[in-house]
Amino acid sequence: MDIEDNSNLVEHEHSVERNTHISDQDYDTSPALAGETDSSHVTLKDFNYSITLINKKINALYEICRFISSQQQENLKSLNKLVALDELSDGFWNRAYKEVVKKLLPDVLFLTHIEYRDALEEYLSVHASHFIESIRRNSWVSLFGDKIFAEIKNKGRSKRNDIAAHIRNAMFATFSKDRLERIDNNTSPVKITEWKNSEKTRKAYEELFMNHELLLKIGYSVFRSHKEKELSTMHCAYILSICDILLNLKSSGIKCNNRSVTRRVHAFLRAFEKNSPATPQMMEEIAEAEEKEAEEAAKRKKQKESQENRIPLQMEGETTIDDDKEYDDFFSNLDYRFGRN
């Protein structure tokens, strides 16, 4: 029983104690009957008083026991969440995450914490009602934030990676082999550099920003559920971001990691919001900044390795610092802000 439950019990006991107070009306103070002595009258009064008090105390104890029992039932319901969590297998949770992500993406590309939680809660209410009904709201919110959110967010990120792969394939299919040679993640860095410097790739990159029909053709081949409606600004920004990483000469590689994609998505969305055109020059500046960051990160890594190799020679207390921090998905609310059209 937690602190809140203890305080409730104390308050309940005080309430019962007030209700068990023996008033003057409960204590028979009437004059002694004729023929009764003072001592016998006092004994009868004491007896009546004691019986009345005992009855009230018994009732009070009964009420307290009922209150404790009800609190135990509430606590048991809270503990059932742990039992229910154990009963639901890892396979169930993985299936639940996949189904939730499948339902939400690709309509919404960057989901918020609350959107994930509400969607999963709806799924559990259908497929594991005993679990969602046995857990208190605060406990569910805490459980989702502490243990579940990271897992389901990874599923969402994996789904976006699949969408990125579909965009890449759609881009090559749209341009055709005659206009753009196909490459993939198995292509060597040397070959990728040659490919990005080729005339075909340069023309394809310029056309990507100038030909709106090209963007729509790629988009509708990937987001087929949107064929009957206009693509959202978020979907357009995401398509352009993936294609930019692949075709941009200033980007040395073709890996569409989360940091590179979200940075470009943000840039495209800002341009759309201001009704200003997104140009290759703007994206080249982003790519150049990324390349510079990559060089600095490599330099820091090399310095760290060098310092670690010198640890036995360092003075006691000397430490090294690695400033390279993992970049998280801080644009998780971008779709909520820009992609609801």
CA distance 240 to 218: 10
Q: How many H helices and E strands in the chain?
A: 14, 0
Give the residue from 227, 219, 239 showing the smallest Cα distance to 164. Answer: 239
DSSP for 129-154, please give it: HHHHHHS-HHHHHHHIIIIIHHHHHH
Q: Specify the higher pLDDT residue, 110 or 42.
A: 110
- How many percent of the chain have pLDDT more than 90? 40
Range with lowest mean pLDDT among 2-16, 19-33, 136-150, 305-319: 19-33
Structure tokens belonging to residue 154: 């990874």
pLDDT band, very low/low/confident/very high, at 85 (cuts 50, 70, 90) = low
Range with lowest mean pLDDT among 58-62, 256-260, 316-320: 316-320
Measure the CA angle with vertex 249, ends 243 and 254; round to 5°.
50
Report the pLDDT value the prediction gives residue 12, as an integer from 0 to 100. Answer: 57
Range with lowest mean pLDDT among 6-10, 42-46, 74-78, 337-341: 337-341
pLDDT at 34 over 50: no
pLDDT band, very low/low/confident/very high, at 308 (cuts 50, 70, 90) = confident
Distances (CA, A) of 252 to 108, 161, 259, 291: 30, 19, 15, 8
- For the chain, what is the mean pLDDT? 80
Give the residue from 59, 49, 77, 78 showing the smallest Cα distance to 15. Answer: 59
pLDDT band, very low/low/confident/very high, at 292 (cuts 50, 70, 90) = confident
What's this model's pTM, rounded to 2 decimal places? 0.64
> Mean pLDDT, to the nearest integer, of 124-142?
88
Mapped onto helix, strand or coil, the DSSP state of residue 340 is coil
Report the pLDDT value the prediction gives residue 333, as an integer from 0 to 100. Answer: 46
Report the pLDDT value the prediction gives residue 89, as an integer from 0 to 100. Answer: 83
Burial 39-70 (b: 16+ CB within 10 A, else e): eeeeeeeeeeeeebeeebeeebeebbeebeee
pLDDT band, very low/low/confident/very high, at 173 (cuts 50, 70, 90) = very high
Segment 226-261, tens digit of pLDDT: 777 888 999 999 999 999 999 999 888 899 988 899
Helical (H) or strand (E) element with 8: helix 3-19
Segment 111-121, tens digit of pLDDT: 999 999 999 99
| Dihedral (Cα; 149, 151, 157, 160), 10-degree rounding | -100
pLDDT at 198 over 60: yes
Report the pLDDT value the prediction gives residue 42, as an integer from 0 to 100. Answer: 54
Peptide bond into 280 cis (omega under 30): no
Give the residue from 217, 191, 212, 284 showing the smallest Cα distance to 245. Answer: 284
Report the pLDDT value the prediction gives residue 14, as an integer from 0 to 100. Answer: 59
CA distance 271 to 280: 12
Place of tokens 């398509």: 239
CA distance 339 to 320: 43
Report the pLDDT value the prediction gives residue 158, as an integer from 0 to 100. Answer: 93
- How many percent of the chain have pLDDT more than 70? 75
DSSP assignment letter at 29: -
Query: Residues 100-107: contacts with CB within 8 Å, 24+ apart?
Result: 100/152, 100/155, 101/152, 101/155, 101/156, 101/159, 102/159, 104/156, 105/156, 105/159, 105/160, 105/163, 106/159, 106/163, 106/222, 106/223, 106/225, 106/235, 107/225
Place of tokens 């360092």: 314
Report the pLDDT value the prediction gives residue 301, as an integer from 0 to 100. Answer: 85
> Mean pLDDT, to the nearest integer, of 183-203?
94
Report the pLDDT value the prediction gives residue 335, as an integer from 0 to 100. Answer: 46
Decide: 236 and 220 in contact? Cβ < 8 Å: no
Highest mean pLDDT among 15-19, 29-33, 36-40, 163-167: 163-167
